[in-house]
Amino acid sequence: MRKILLMVVVATLAALVMFAQDKGGKGGGKGGKGGPPKNLKVLTPENYMDNMRAFVPALGLADKGGCNFCHVADDRSADTKQEKVMARMMIGMVNDLNAKFPDGKVHVTCFTCHRGSTEPLTAPPAAN
């Protein structure tokens, strides 16, 4: 149960990190207004919005508040929600896994385990 909760939080955080700012010069740590994105710790300004957009389908967030599942609506750069913190940890985990493949390609994504759910779906079904 603890593992599942941790994975959910990480996935949520990853989604928050990705949806925190607008793409391009509009950027902005606070509601997507002005300047470069604030508080990026795992993603880079060049890739964060593409990654954020990928979290919605990978974690099934469209009907769970989208960006607000992980982000605080009035300050997307804030680390207030535990889901955002967990998402960062999960992004780090995925990056570490992919770095171990010698071909340099992305083999593992959020969808690999989550398959459209905020909780990973990789555990075997519980015995009755």
Residue 119 resides in a domain: no
Q: What angle do CA 116, 121, 126 make, to 5 degrees?
A: 145
Residue 120 resides in a domain: no
Q: Which residues of 91-103 are buried (b: 16+ CB within 10 A; e: fewer)?
A: beebeeeeeeeee
The mean pLDDT value for 1-18 works out to 57
Residue 92 resides in a domain: yes
Q: Quote the domain boundaries for residue 29.
A: 2-114
- What pLDDT digit, counting tens, does each position of 54-79 carry? 988 999 999 999 999 999 999 999 99
Total of domains in the chain: 1
pTM: 0.66
